[in-house]
Structure 1
Amino acid sequence: MSSAVSNAPRPYTQGIFLMCVGVACLSANDAFAKALTAGYSPLQILFLRNVIALPATIVIALLFGGPKALRSHRPLAHLLRGALWVGAAMMFFTSFIHLGLAEATALIFVAPFFITVISAAFLGEEVGWRRWLAVLVGFLGVLVIIRPGGATFQLVSLLPVATALVYALLMLSARWVDSRESVWTLLVYLTGAGALLSALIVPFVWVPVRSEDLWLFAGLAIFGTAGMTMITQAFRFAPAVVVAPLDYTGLLWATLFGWLIWRESPDAMTVVGAAIIIASGVFTIFREHKQASD
């Protein structure tokens, strides 16, 4: 009886729960950012988000990683990653000024496909024809959403796609970090580097913060930090193949927040394109899991 219990499939409820709530928090973070773009530069929003979040990030790192989580063996690598983070966030926040929340969110989901392309082209990793097919299908979904050459095409629609590219570089740049450093170290230094680098430019775009907007900046930092923490923990409690596809629930939250706050409704082509991107992304996740287990 005991052996039967020990061989039973492990429940991943905790990981699934953390991933779902974490994605919802990050979607709320995006909604706060979009609301703030009406009165502030994306750079100022990013700067204040990082400054407010940094103390909480340090506390979280100490709780889960101990004092060693604050030590970096390659500070320059973190500074370069911070530059990528600032660039990605700036473009994504800027896209909120012109695009609906759901549309921008759907387009950023092509980041995994950029990771595949970069890994094959520049890192010499072997990529099979099935993953290349998934990449092509994913970009078909992008074309369906942005409709280049069509009457509804906006050049700004390329911003979330560019964000996805820089975000893919950010994910791959984790290889530059010393292997002795934990994910909590990465989280602290990414937030700190983002605050430092954005501080160098923010005086040129700074406007006084209105008191009625303070709760929006606080919410941006709180939900963003909570989301990243819970998603990080989710991957500790459950395999990637279980929790990674749940990242796409962010599109549901983005659609809900967009409708509730701004009365945005994604058109049929955006829904179709998002479905294509999600389907190819889920296929890629399960394909990588199958190859890893073979």
Structure 2
Amino acid sequence: MTAQTNIATSRSAGRGVLLMCIGIACLSVNDAIAKTLTTSYAPVQILFLRNAIALIPALLIAYFAGGWPALQSRKPMAHLLRGAVWTGAAILFFTGLRSLGLAEATTLIFAAPIFIIALSSLFLKEQVGWRRWGAACVGFIGVLVVVRPGGEVFQVVALFPVGTAALYALMMIGARWVDPGESGWTMMLYLVGAGALISGAISPFFWTPIRAEDIWLFLGIAFFGTAGMTLITQAFRFSAASIVAQFEYTGLVWATLLGWWIWGTVPDATTVIGAAIIVSSGLFIIFREGQAK
């Protein structure tokens, strides 16, 4: 019985890792499409159309996965606040993509665990040991290596993905605002809905008529964005967070390959070094959190 249980657990963990890797690949394609669209459209318009197109599929996924309870929330304002934070994060990221390479912007996004530690200690009063604080400081050094403040190649827009990482961390911490009885499907649905509502209120001020040849790109960004979020949500259901979270960093590989394939850009040596520092820091934080749990 123990052997069978171990096999089942191993298969479940393997399924979770596979879903995480595919989900991250989908989000990487989503980011590549967004970078392409930012040359012609405002980030808030891209975000609105992505969420608006994805809203019906997200509604259907939530319903068939969780039934009517997945469509209801006892704390809708909590979802609206998280949606506002997520909207700000996406706008900052898409704005940064206009000028930065896909791999560089993706690298800076992975500074999120650093901010999660700081925000957990500040707002949730969680006890954070010196090892995780040390890893966070090392990760921040990696961010500085990539951004290169004061250097000749420094770009202010490089701070936008860093801001995205901070807001993403706040959104993750904000999951505590949501009723703990609500499912991941409910959170996904309301996040997409709140994002569509908020970006829809802003986008008319930045609206550009959509060209016919770009319609497939907007459909693509909605598909890959929704698929990525759904698969990652399922990955955390099949396996422990401390296991699947490590595979988020496969996004760096996809971002590098897509950047090279579409735009012919390759991260320079300094960015690679900074990425290695950030990833090492993040993996250590994940390892320590897994031990704590």
TM-score normalized with structure 2 length: 0.97
After superposition, residues 232-243 of structure 1 pair within 5 angstroms as 232-243=233-244
The residue aligned with 1:95 is 96
After superposition, residues 1-294 of structure 1 pair within 5 angstroms as 2-7=1-6, 10-11=10-11, 12-292=13-293
- Alpha-carbon separation, structure 1, partners of 2:99 and 2:62: 36
- Alpha-carbon separation, structure 1, partners of 2:14 and 2:78: 35
TM-superposed CA distance for 1:78, in Å, is 1.1
Q: Closer, same or farther in 2 for the Cα pair 1:175/1:144, shift >3 Å? A: same
- Alpha-carbon separation, structure 2, partners of 1:227 and 1:64: 16
- Alpha-carbon separation, structure 2, partners of 1:111 and 1:145: 15
Q: Closer, same or farther in 2 for the Cα pair 1:83/1:7, shift >3 Å? A: closer
TM-superposed CA distance for 1:123, in Å, is 1.9
Matched to 2:148, the amino acid is R
**SS of aligned partner of 1:150:** coil
- Alpha-carbon separation, structure 1, partners of 2:238 and 2:30: 24
- Alpha-carbon separation, structure 1, partners of 2:234 and 2:53: 22
- Alpha-carbon separation, structure 2, partners of 1:201 and 1:173: 23
* CA displacement 1:112-152 (0-9 Å, x = unmatched): 11010011122211100000000000001001101111101
Matched to 1:10, the amino acid is S
**SS of aligned partner of 2:128:** coil
TM-superposed CA distance for 1:180, in Å, is 1.9
TM-superposed CA distance for 1:181, in Å, is 1.2
Q: Unaligned regions of 5+ residues in structure 2, if any?
A: none
* CA displacement 1:43-99 (0-9 Å, x = unmatched): 100000000000000011011111111101111111111110110000000001110
* CA displacement 1:165-184 (0-9 Å, x = unmatched): 11111111111111221111
TM-superposed CA distance for 1:191, in Å, is 0.6
Q: CA RMSD in A?
A: 1.1
- Alpha-carbon separation, structure 2, partners of 1:79 and 1:60: 20
TM-score normalized with structure 1 length: 0.97
TM-superposed CA distance for 1:26, in Å, is 0.4
Matched to 1:247, the amino acid is E
- Alpha-carbon separation, structure 2, partners of 1:283 and 1:224: 28
- Alpha-carbon separation, structure 2, partners of 1:52 and 1:230: 18
Count how many residue pairs are aligned between Structure 1 and Structure 2.
291
Q: Closer, same or farther in 2 for the Cα pair 1:100/1:68, shift >3 Å? A: same
- Alpha-carbon separation, structure 2, partners of 1:178 and 1:261: 42
TM-superposed CA distance for 1:5, in Å, is 3.5
Q: Closer, same or farther in 2 for the Cα pair 1:159/1:14, shift >3 Å? A: same
**SS of aligned partner of 2:98:** helix
TM-superposed CA distance for 1:283, in Å, is 0.6
Matched to 1:48, the amino acid is L
**SS of aligned partner of 1:72:** coil
Q: Unaligned regions of 5+ residues in structure 1, if any?
A: none
